[in-house]
Amino acid sequence: MATRVVVSRKHLKSLRNFTRPLTSSSSSSSSVAVNHTVKPEPTFQKPPTTTSLELDDAEKLFSSVPTSKLLRASAILHAAAIEPMVDFGTWVMQSKLMHVNVIRGAVLGALRHTFYEHFCAGEDADAAGESVRSLHRCGLRAMLDYAVEYAGDNESCDRNLEAFLHTVESATSLPPSSVSFLIVKITAICPMELVERVSDLLRWQYKDPSFNLPWKQDTLPILSDSSPTYQTLKKPEPLTPEEERDLQLGHQRLLKICQKCVEANVPLAVDAEYTSIQPAIDYFTYSSAIMCNKDEHPIVHGTIQAYLKDAKERLLLASMAADKMGFPMGFKLVRGAYMSSERKLASALGFESPIHKSIHETHVCYNDCASFLLEKISNGPGALVLATHNVESGRIAVAKAHDLGIGKVNHKMQFAQLYGMADALSFGLRNAGFQVSKYMPFGPVEMVMPYLLRRAEENRGLLSASTLDRQLMRKELKRRLAAAVF
């Protein structure tokens, strides 16, 4: 029988604004290669550590990046900032033209040697392993993501499970500390239709606590009073015996991955997805965390998307419940990656979007959640990944962590950015003495294409606004050219 942690509405209301605002001293806003013969890795020579985030010195930021890679990265980011070009490429990849073998081959070939190579760790085992090593030589770590998006049946889930397990094994043969996390999507190890069904049932039980779910395991609070429930407008049918069996198989797959991560001492982060299926994702995540997070350094981490209106409330409820149950919880805090899809679905159903109305509200939510979690891990168990491309959030978090005394390569927290994006911020945070990881998807081009299409759609504004990286890269390239000539 599932444990239900009760938090009174009065207490919850008093804690909704649960954190003092973050303040800044600044005024500005297949699988990874298994290589059993590990060669000694060059030691990254860090610049003198600072106590703040400094992003003005391009030479200092990009000192570890070879000129050839800097040129290529600059060119790709400039191309990605041209929205009509990205829109056209996305249209081609989703069109019937991709059914013509000659065109498909040409498009995939062009994609492989441009955007794919920039934003993905590798197509085969050797390339992925070398990408991790290259990143490690720059003083950064890797969050390895076998970038399959969804699975439709148990056979596909079992194949994906083997790939995830092999990825963990492979991480142990890479340089020590070069891999910070294994990333997993629940929809890759449990059939998508079942994840949708479980989410419907969990939403209905939140509306009607007397609604019995006999299969439900111990978990943390999944929904809050401000969570969207419009995806489930009528009482869903109970799971069939076959669905209950498949749900158990999904739990077993996740626990096998967790156990492999425990053995390898590689933490696991479960990605967030659409709000329509997030209840089931959180259910899987929290139930496995209860079983596997035993000491002060949790293995299982959930993901909170700060662009959702209910993010702070759900984070508070889950955190309070974990404390009450006596186990540490890890969180990866992100702004969100499904904005356009969420708004379209809510609009189609005639409901208000679950996403904050303005980017300012999202920033406030992100910084509040970060402040709460930083204070929490400074005083007790738990762990935090601040995944952000926002420079101001980075500056504020650096100042907060420094004030709390949890900076300087503290294993309870780290920053993260997407591979191929926000490199200046990554290097600046590294130079400030923090652990920094890059989210690194890998796999064959055709398998990773859905991931790339989603990223192109969701990050078009971010890519077109990558002014800082492009300016600093251009500045450093000019400096190197001048040094070579004169």
Q: What is the mean pLDDT of the chain?
A: 86
For residue 436, list its beta bridge partners: 415
Q: Provide the pLDDT for residue 110.
A: 83
pLDDT at 36 over 50: no
What's the average model confidence in pLDDT over 13-38?
42
* pLDDT tens readout for residues 379-401: 888 999 999 999 999 999 999 99
pLDDT at 9 over 60: no
Is residue 219 within 8 Å of 213, Cβ to Cβ?
no
pLDDT at 373 over 90: yes
pLDDT at 462 over 60: no
Q: Provide the pLDDT for residue 15.
A: 42
What's the average model confidence in pLDDT over 259-278?
95
pLDDT at 27 over 80: no
Q: Provide the pLDDT for residue 252.
A: 98
What's the average model confidence in pLDDT over 333-353?
87
| Alpha helical stretches, state H, 351-485 | 359-379, 391-404, 423-431, 445-458, 460-464, 467-485
pLDDT band of residue 83 (cuts 50, 70, 90) is: confident
pLDDT at 26 over 50: no
pLDDT at 465 over 50: no
Written as six digits, the tokens of 275 are 């709000």
Categorise residue 324: left if φ over 0, alpha if ψ from -120 to 50, beta otherwise.
alpha
What's the average model confidence in pLDDT over 93-104?
85
> In sequence order, which residues have a C-beta less than 8 Å from that of residue 465 and are 6 or more positions away?
81
pLDDT at 136 over 90: yes
Pick 26 or 343 by higher pLDDT.
343
Backbone angles phi, psi at 384, to 5 degrees: -145, 135
Is residue 296 within 8 Å of 327, Cβ to Cβ?
no
* pLDDT tens readout for residues 69-81: 999 999 988 887 7
pLDDT at 133 over 80: yes
pLDDT band of residue 472 (cuts 50, 70, 90) is: very high
Pick 454 or 98 by higher pLDDT.
98
Strand stretches in 45-178, DSSP E: 141-146
Q: Provide the pLDDT for residue 51.
A: 62
**In the chain, pLDDT over 90 holds for what percent of residues?**
62
Categorise residue 268: left if φ over 0, alpha if ψ from -120 to 50, beta otherwise.
beta
What's the average model confidence in pLDDT over 234-240?
97
* pLDDT tens readout for residues 238-264: 999 999 999 999 999 999 999 999 999
Q: What are the chain's domains?
A: 47-485 (3.20.20.220)
What's the average model confidence in pLDDT over 334-343?
84
What's the average model confidence in pLDDT over 317-333?
96
Which of the residue ranges 78-92, 175-189, 229-243, 394-408 would you say has the lowest mean pLDDT?
78-92
Q: Provide the pLDDT for residue 461.
A: 54
pTM (2 decimals)?
0.87
For residue 308, list its beta bridge partners: 355
**In the chain, pLDDT over 70 holds for what percent of residues?**
85
pLDDT at 84 over 70: yes
Pick 355 or 297 by higher pLDDT.
355
